[in-house]
Structure 1
């Protein structure tokens, strides 16, 4: 009876939850209050996590720690993110319960054109050609975004946040096997002159795991960034060098110093929607947060929660829900004013899409027609599996969930001042039409969905996110189902096999599924093929029984740690 009453309550709240982006205001829950003085960090490299923890030990906020983590990731995980890229941050303020999105996504230069990735005959450039061109880079946004968030939520001075990364860049860090694999990989960037030059050891060979890599140029830039503030990235010698670098070679970019000077991050209201007894808060477009919420809403119409991960029908239904979501996401989401956010989450529309989920998967579905939608757009976006994600909860209960990227491996492969430039313009559709077409000043659609999890009273319950290109939505939703529907520890939910169903492609970790389960799924139309790319790097935490239940994806180099911090009695 209690379960029936709870389900009825959840259904009623889901039906009346506002669909338009809202800022949640609510008191802090008892569970969160019991963790005062305890802090949590999950990041994709131990040195990055430690840099964040050191800031928290000094009394810094979640945003303070996020700045230190991002600066260190730029050094030790340069294939995934960096100060030359962009990010989305979702911030939870413990004092008010407000959830705010900071959009530091890169923007297209003023000289960008819709056909900039087309050949003379009108056909798209090959991705390996476009990705290393000067046209690939957008105006980086992460530094100004972090500066804005710091001005509103920081407690330590900006120049106090970079000591660890400066020392590490000067003294060097040990190259991991994962970084080695990308340095010696087959991507176009791995052969780029800047990549080859930076990762060369004393013998003149590409560096190997276990060797020490130093980056004095980056140390010098970060010293200047610490002293001068965020403007060091946007005015003066660094943007001048970046402009020169992207304008060099064939297919030069159009970026100017004015593009840098005029870049502004955007503060957006979080898009929040219920799932079971919780509320998930994500960034609105141009992030694909609405896609994650729509997918989870469709899952609520299934019996996946009762079936569990060992039932083939669980994965068959999940794959179909994923396909439906991606069909809608690809057709409607972008940095355009007419994204039908309310329509995509409309309860009647969600139910109609979920009604297409059967016990056997058929052909890939087409995009639906949500209320308020214009005609579905064409999409030719090639979004690769780069990016990084991290989580911080400080001793006061403030939280950051942040996904950050230079897009592909080592971005465009071009380096300035010790960091790589993004190739974010290739996140636009190469076909000059539809919601993700290129336009000056526009931000490319993103699959990044850093998520904050709230209780229904608005108190903090947890956070989650992942890298992985367009597969991010699959990675994050899988872990949410595991931790919420199946009551798994966060680490076990993260470790569940990945399955990403989009259009005619069903990719996943075939080796992690039981062979009998795979066979039963195939009989029902879900044939899992081994995926490619960087794979997931999920970081998540949920507050249970007065403690942090956190996890870092063991598919990467990440760690999750909690500590006691001072000054928070």
Structure 2
């Protein structure tokens, strides 16, 4: 586990981030989306405490009827109460997400956006809904460039109103409930309203993050007044009351999403953006015209399963599929010396383990090269979705991989496509602060939702009791390279590319695994790695989540701090990889659906739990 970061480092990190060139992806990605902190959160319910103890002991939580795994115990409690009353996974998500916006505001909330995969047991259909934020009508491709045409520093762009996109989470919550909910909408928001009115106990994680970020939080008066009362950061154990958030949820409960996107709330959000230290472009017109979108899930056959994720504007589903598909094509073709392993005792440093890491690391580099060139909002630019995961194309990418040595370079491939492709590679930064929840209800429905405000505490601008996102900084800061346009450049109404990867794995048309994680662009590696560990190596869901991470994106292998880290780094260096040992602060929350029942896992790196009955 990574050591805690000192508050004295905050100005240093800020100045370094602003000075770094945009092209230096490895350097900028070294800034963690969220710091590693004390992992405990206050729990009063004995059953939930038992679930927390199971996580701490490395055991999955088991249940027969339903289960929820989410990033904070109060959100799990809210969702569990709904499931116990006969609510669906859709109902439980609404209650849990409303609570997360209160108790985990640094990660997600009404001012952010997200993606949902939903399996409807009655129809057997898997759906995906896009609640990603959109760029304002007045945004241009030069939004994050200086007068001289150079990209801004990251935090220079983030803090203030310029980075705020139209929030999508409220419309997404309502859209999911309208399609698959059973319980009354106002009832689902009541627990969060009560907690906001009466106050909740600040967790050690939230307090530490406020302390670390206070130099930026203090720049907006409402934000400072809430997180830094009387000028000092809130402390763990403090009772934090948010009547403004309760009032917003009351309006949301009675008027639905329309009450958020039109009228006083929309005006307040727009004014907060316009009056921030760096004024933004979001207007009431932009708010009124926001809609969520039904998208086709991205699905790939893998080892007798079907791994399904979110398509563009997320890069998560396609890139996870490419990593697993390339490794599968390599091992099942004539390229690999070893077969796919299926050994839950596979230990760090064995030859098979190193072969797996080498293959997955090379496959990830190839997939990230394609991601950087081709994936963006498919409503604005043509994306070769089918071509990127076509069997023949994955075989050609597998031919460039190796399970014994790091490949020298990874370049974008040429997937089959019915449009001309001439894009430059993305140049930008992504340090998102995100959350994930997985839910299975008593009816057999399954939900995987990842939501975010982007950087920790988003834009640091607060309105109506919640923080506004800085999701527009997920766009490329450059619009062109040598005259060639970048697919993920800023455009009016466009949705920035995301790394969020909510995933549902199917077997014979039914869910067997629900998984996802926060963690910036490392989300993709965390999810692919966990699926591999569970389905290929045979680890139970808690083990698969808790084992030390090793992920590759752009060439350097990130190895999670731990007792085996130095040895593993040395072995991977001998195979040609550059390595970096560091804290890898994922937030995986997953549920495995087995013949024996439900098994839930929650990431020991954060304060969430899994619980079911």
| Aligned twin of 1:58 | 85
Question: Deviation of residue 450 (structure 1)?
Answer: 0.4
Change (3 A) 1:428 1:514: closer
Residues 1:487 and 2:538 aligned together: yes
**In structure 2, what is the equivalent of residue 172 of structure 1?**
199
Q: Contact conserved, 2:98 with 2:109, CA < 8 A, in 1?
A: yes
1:559 equivalenced with 2:609 (yes/no): yes
Q: TM-score, normalised by structure 1?
A: 0.89
Cα distance, 1:81 vs structure 2 = 0.4
Residue 240 of structure 2 corresponds to residue 205 of structure 1: no
Aligned to 1:314: 356
Residue of structure 2 equivalent to 1:466: 517
Q: What are the residue-to-residue correspondences of 1:88-167 with 2, within 5 Å?
A: 88-167=115-194
**Once the 2 structures are TM-superposed, how far is the Cα of residue 305 of structure 1 from its aligned partner?**
3.4
Alpha carbons 1:189, 1:409 under 8 Å: kept:
no
Q: C-alpha offsets along residues 497-542 of structure 1, whole Å, 9 cap, x if unaligned?
A: 222312243323142535333321111122331346x720001111
Is the aligned partner of 1:363 residue 2:408? yes
SS in 2 for 1:405: strand
Q: CA–CA distance in 2 between the matches of 1:416 and 1:271?
A: 35
Superposed, which structure 2 residues align to 1:316-335 within 5 Å?
Answer: 316-335=358-377
Structure 1 residues 291 and 309: alpha-carbon distance in aligned structure 2, compared to 1, 3 A threshold: farther
Q: Which residue of 2 aligns with 1:517?
A: 568
- Which of 242, 253, 263 in structure 1 is aligned with 2:280? 253
Distance 1:339 1:191 in 2: 41
Structure 1, unaligned runs of 5 or more: 1-34, 564-569
Q: Residues 512 and 324 (structure 1 numbering): CA distance in 2 closer, same or farther, change over 3 Å? A: farther
2:429 paired with 1:382: yes
Alpha-carbon displacement from aligned partner over 1:130-150 (angstroms, at most 9, x marks no partner): 101211000011111221221
Greater shift in the superposed pair: 213-222 or 369-378: 369-378
Is it true that 1:405 corresponds to 2:438 in the alignment? Answer: no
Say which SS state the counterpart of residue 212 (structure 2) adopts. coil
Of 387, 390, 396 in structure 1, the residue corresponding to residue 443 of structure 2 is: 396
Q: Which residue of structure 2 lines up, in the alignment, with residue 528 of structure 1?
A: 579
Question: Hey, what does 2:340 align to over in structure 1?
Answer: 305
Q: Is the 8 A contact 1:89 1:400 kept in 2?
A: yes
Contact preservation (8 Å) 2:135, 2:490? yes
CA contact (8 A) 2:94 2:173 kept: yes
Report matched runs for 1:3-22 at 5 Å. Answer: none
1:223-270 CA distance string (max 9 Å, x none): 111111111210111110111111124542111111111111001121
Cα 1:364/1:172, change in 2 over 3 Å: farther
Mapped to 2, the partners of 1:328 and 1:351 lie a distance apart of 15
Cα separation, partners in 2 of 1:187 and 1:273, compared to 1, 3 Å: farther
Counterpart of 1:420 in structure 2 is: 467
Assess if the C-alpha contact under 8 Å between 1:278 and 1:453 holds in 2: yes
- How many angstroms does 1:128 deviate by? 0.7
Q: Secondary structure at the match of 1:59?
A: coil
Rounded Cα–Cα distance in structure 2 between residues aligned with 1:512 and 1:268: 43
CA distance in 1: counterparts of 2:540 and 2:505, whole angstroms:
15
Alignment partners' CA distance in 1, 2:213 and 2:240 = 21
Distance 1:188 1:404, change over 3 A: farther
Match of 1:404, SS?
A: strand
Please give the residue correspondences for 1:203-242 in structure 2 after superposition, counting only pairs within 5 Å. 204-242=231-269
Structure 2 gap ranges (5+): 1-61, 332-337, 480-484
Work out which of the residue numbers 356, 371, 385 in structure 2 matches 1:341: 385
Secondary structure (helix, strand or coil) at the match of 1:96 reads coil
Deviation at 1:387, TM superposition (A): 0.5
Residues 157-202 of structure 1, C-alpha deviations (whole Å, 9 max, x = no match): 111101111111112112122112210114864443343321135x
Higher mean alpha-carbon deviation, 516-525 vs 430-439, is at 516-525
Q: How many residues align?
A: 526
1:268 is the counterpart of 2:295 = yes
CA contact (8 A) 2:556 2:578 kept: no
> Contact (CA 8 Å) 2:69, 2:589: kept in 1 or not?
yes
| Cα displacement (A) at 1:204 | 4.5
Q: 2:318 is paired with a residue of what secondary structure?
A: helix
Mapped partners of 1:192, 1:438: distance in 2: 26
Structure 1: distance between partners of 2:339 and 2:274: 51
Q: Does 1:452 align with 2:499?
A: no
Give the deviation of 1:344 after TM superposition: 0.8
| SS of residue matched to 1:535 | coil
Kindly indicate whether the alpha-carbon contact (under 8 Å) linking 1:510 and 1:528 is maintained by their aligned counterparts in 2: no
Structure 2 distance, partners of 1:315, 1:255, is 44
1:469 match: secondary structure:
coil
TM-score if structure 2 supplies the norm length?
0.83
Q: Could you tell me which residue of structure 1 aligns to residue 29 of structure 2?
A: none
Secondary structure of the residue aligned to 2:123 is: coil
Choose the corresponding residue for 1:438, options 456, 476, 490. Answer: 490
Indicate the SS of the match to 2:325: helix
CA distance in 1, matches of 2:147, 2:347: 50
